[in-house]
Structure 1
């Protein structure tokens, strides 16, 4: 699934042209995207490996910034999926393929700090956040959550 499929409000459509590529002279994308249209988008690495899909987007309520995308990876038909919080800065929107790119191998994602849907980590813990950013090679924003 991709953001064009979930575009119920016509954010990315031009009345004259149907669905032109993002970046045309209309609509907010790709600089501004509707959060609901991004949930469910596929995530691939640069090698073309399917790394799962975006299940949730977590907002920092103090800053209004997106902190993490929660990815689902592994399992079969939704059973046994492992969830991963990925720093938003680690994802790149691939407007050509209408999906996200995460620059990690499948093996690195499989070994990433993950969690079960019934046991979410304390994402406000600064040690947890720093470990996650270190793992993905990103720099956290000073977000007001971590003291």
Structure 2
């Protein structure tokens, strides 16, 4: 258990902690450096590319990277929302730990039929497919 000590020096309190504190620095990137990036699996197979980002307007957090895959010049193309935390940046690409065959069975939609923003059950199904919990769910202990 960490202990802290207070000392008085010139009327100001100084705090010292027995355990070190880890500071995480944010990594801020413009969206145009994300859109268009290729997504591959661990075998190096192409799964798609980042076509859009979906943002939770309440928190300002990215919740999905929408991958585009298949089709020719947009015809027959499928869009796959992937939970943002399922992607790992690797050099110039993203890595998604998923077999290509499994990705093809993921929840998807076409360019003209985006899911409704208030259809949380659909978005929750997407999160469950990728074995993640939606960020808007709060675990009560």
- TM category (shorter chain) comes to 0.7 to 0.9
Structure 1 residue 129 and structure 2 residue 108: aligned?
Answer: no
Q: Any runs of at least 4 consecutive aligned residues in structure 1 with deviations exceeding 3 A, and if so which? A: none
72, 77, 80: which one aligns with 1:76: 72
Larger radius of gyration: 2
Counterpart mapping for 1:1-147 below 5 A: 31-95=27-91, 98-142=92-136
- Separation in structure 1 between the aligned mates of residue 75 and residue 97 of structure 2, nearest angstrom: 25
State the number of aligned residues: 114
In the TM superposition, what is the alpha-carbon distance from 1:37 to its structure 2 partner? 1.1
SS in 1 for 2:47: strand
Q: CA RMSD in A?
A: 2.1
Unpaired runs of at least 5, structure 1 = 1-29
- Separation in structure 2 between the aligned mates of residue 107 and residue 114 of structure 1, nearest angstrom: 14
Unpaired runs of at least 5, structure 2 = 1-25
Normalised by the length of structure 2, the TM-score is 0.74
